[in-house]
Structure 1
Amino acid sequence: MSDNCQPNPIEPACEVAAVQQIPLNDELVPSTITASSPVIKVPVVVAERKLQIVVESDITLTPAATEIKRVTKNVFLNQVKLVPVRFLRIGTTDFFEVTRAKLFVSGFIRKDIEYSSSACNGALRDRIADVPFSGFAELTQGDFLTRPIIGISDSSKAHFLNECNDQVPRLDKYFFQNLVKYNEQPYGELLGANFFELDFSPILTEPEGTFSTLREKIVMDLYLKVLQVQQHHITGDRHIPTFDEGTLG
């Protein structure tokens, strides 16, 4: 075999220092289990909904484009508000469960459009556009995983008779009582979005022609979670980690 067929020795071009890691002993921490029935205050899932958002918009491209290369999208929420419209009293209290509500949602779709201009060997252009949307959804009793809770405030006013004449009231003397309940505000959490989109020039162009307006029609399935902080009494086991004996063992 000819010496020319022997491969030349290859040295690493960008060698870096490395340290081999030593395996560590890994064991389960034992626990002492006791019965527990705590009262906890935690976020509770009120509803999980898929909302379909349909928007249409025109986006200006400067310089003009000759071909769209890639479009990426993300969704940002500015508002998720639950407005109750129907209630069910809890026992004899002044607290009510919400059985029907309007869910207001607003935000924008952030689009990143990469396109080429008519220049030969030209650099790719980038256009970022925020497409706003807003709307509401109707939530009925069967849509709630856990019903939101709202406490109603109240105010009272007592009138008095004139001490010198029991036939007329006093207009300068009143007793006021105000009961104010502060409620946990339901809030939203973004889960995900699925985009279906058609982008085109509103004016038909030749293969090498240019267009400066991109018309888009977007159908977005928006997935979100609505939560409210509530207080619940639960029953379960309490796990307390157990360590090896030390000075107190």
Structure 2
Amino acid sequence: MARAVRRQEELPSPAAAYGGDSPGERAVWRLRSRGCWDDAAALLEPYVPGSPSTALRRASLLVERCMFTGSGWEAAEDALRLAEAAARDDDARGAAASERGHLAYVATVLGVRDRSDEARAALGRAAALLDQASPARAMLDYRRGLVAEHVSGNTEAAQAAYRRAHTGATAHGDALLCSFTWRHLAGLALREGELAEARHGFTESLLLRERLGFLVGMAPALVALADVQEKHEATRLLEEATRLFRLLGGVPTWLASRLEAA
């Protein structure tokens, strides 16, 4: 697979990949990247009426909050219903269905409630609605990979979906999504005993998050890389992950047991 990391100055603005590169959008990104999802959503809220894309971005922020904190489900559901109601064409409806599927997936894997059937149905609906050339297609492929791997246990289907997502994210300049696809492809490589490939993928994921300033995603990336390093380097990475985890107030919450064990 082609190397995804470029020099920092060549990376596109993360705000541009998620709705625009205005001062307001950059402020939303800064808040999001530090785990301040409610504050980021509040900045978008005045622009939701009359803007289906803004409604969807706000819903996406609140779904991401659920994924990292295991809380805020009602607010995410409310925002998602608004986004679904505001959608006016197949692409918007498909992107909203993708978000619906992701929320159902997150609730399932975090053990809140088994919504696996809803996740599959919503992602299938998104696949039927989204044009193959849609920028939202790469995120959909990534999410279908998550369901295949962590709900269905089908690693072959998951790998194929992650690779499609990686190709699409690279084509559309979505470096943040590339950081996720690198990480999950590396995880599958590690499962197959491909240590060098896994180390490369985890390193790429971490570098992208560092360069984008995605602070809230740094601790999980550090922990993943620690799993494929020698003891001394692994200890250093876990110590850094622990500092970031504490700095962000214990987010992501599901990382706590892993860091405590370290």
Where relative contact order (Cα < 8 A, 6+ residues apart) is larger, the structure is 1
Point out the structure with the larger strand share.
1
Q: Same fold (TM over 0.5)?
A: no
Point out the structure with the larger helix share.
2
Q: TM-score, normalised by structure 2?
A: 0.15
Structure number, greater radius of gyration: 1
